[in-house]
Amino acid sequence: MTTRTATPEPADSHHYSWVAFLRDTLDFFVCALKYYEELLSLEAAEVEADPHLKAFFTEEIRQEIRFDRGRREVTRTRQWLEESLAKSTDKFDCDLSLEHGTVRYLKSVGLLYLGFLKQRRNALSSKPNVTTHLLSALDRQITLREEQLATQGIFARASVMRLLVEQEQLTAVEQEGDRPQDQSVTHARRPKPVMIDSIEILDTELKRRCLDLFNQFEESGQSERHDTVVTEATRILEHRLRTLTRSTDAATGADLAARAFAGGTPAIRVSDIQGEQDAVHLLYRGVFGFIRNQVHHKLLSDLAPERVVQILGLIDYLLYVANTGVPSEGKEVS
């Protein structure tokens, strides 16, 4: 979940003179390019294997569909990344100089490859001998790459370009009730994530009101409604502070955080060290200002399930801190 100021996308010719990539990021792009390279080769092979289509395709048509040009482009890009990695074997990162058009190309091929990996993950999940630990690890890696391509660095402002192969074929694992757009590589989605047990939610109200809602959205494939879970969690936090501070007015968010933890006589004291008490106030204020306000004031459809669970874990801890604080004697709040 991020907040960004909208800025125009650079032209494809815009040059980035120095960009540091982690090695595992470039390894991912090499794998993605190999996959795309294979798709292009298979497409050309299908035509070459059919004598009628082969005879029908004139040289003019071949130039139009760009069989060779597309393969040369992806091969050249893959070899460039492999050579760059080979020159930096003793480093954890690799410095590249590239144009924005190349960034868009890498992002597009990467997203296509992630769609393919989701299909493979779905097929793997149907096997009885596959553990939840393996599936959880795959889910984390897929989410990390999706977030990287959508929100991080030079990829955040890069739009997706149309590739020569869009891969709209059906997935090998057809699930009953899937919509047609969910059966392609481009729109492949994961089944319900298995990471839900990785963070223990101890607060009874939070668990009852939010985990059931989260599981409902995951079961029905409504991942775009994850922000509703976060909204409910922050509402619970607000309600808890309102109760603990005995507030009867309409104060919300940052005002409740200040009322609960700020000043010399806060309604809830969690530390005798004033610096720690001030830090707690800022912690709650930050959660309300950044996490709560985003989901309360706009619709967010890009919240990964792993991040939602992490936010629930944070809210659970904040509820615990508030509950274990000591009410200031004689502190009355209207």
Lowest mean pLDDT among 104-113, 242-251, 258-267, 301-310: 301-310
Taking the mean position of all CA atoms in its chain, how far away is CA 210? Answer: 20
Token pair for 63? 């130039």
Residue 184's pLDDT is 56
Does the pLDDT value for residue 195 go beyond 50?
A: no
Residue 52's pLDDT is 72
Lowest mean pLDDT among 51-60, 135-144, 169-178: 169-178
Does the pLDDT value for residue 316 go beyond 80?
A: yes
Question: Would you say 112 and 163 are in contact if contact means Cβ atoms under 8 Å apart?
Answer: yes
Interacting residues of 251 by C-beta distance below 8 A, sequence separation 6+: 242, 259
> Which candidate, 78, 152, 86, places its Cα nearest to that of 109?
78
Where are the alpha helices (H) located in 50-198, listed in sequence order? 51-56, 59-65, 67-86, 100-125, 132-151
Residue 192's pLDDT is 53
Residue 16's pLDDT is 93
d(CA 330, CA 226): 41
Say which amino acid occupies 292: R
Residue 329's pLDDT band (cuts 50, 70, 90): low
In this prediction, residues 5-23 reach a mean pLDDT of 86
Q: Which residue has the higher pLDDT, 193 or 215?
A: 215
Q: What is the pLDDT of residues 79-88, one digit of tens each?
A: 999 999 998 7
Residue ranges per structural domain of the chain: 15-183, 195-327
Residue 65's pLDDT band (cuts 50, 70, 90): low
Token pair for 83? 């050579």
Does the pLDDT value for residue 106 go beyond 90?
A: yes
Residue 238's pLDDT is 94
In this prediction, residues 293-320 reach a mean pLDDT of 85
Question: Would you say 141 and 89 are in contact if contact means Cβ atoms under 8 Å apart?
Answer: no
Q: Which residue has the higher pLDDT, 92 or 187?
A: 92
d(CA 145, CA 60): 39
Lowest mean pLDDT among 4-8, 96-100, 147-151: 4-8
Within 10 angstroms of residue 219's Cβ, the number of other Cβ atoms is 10
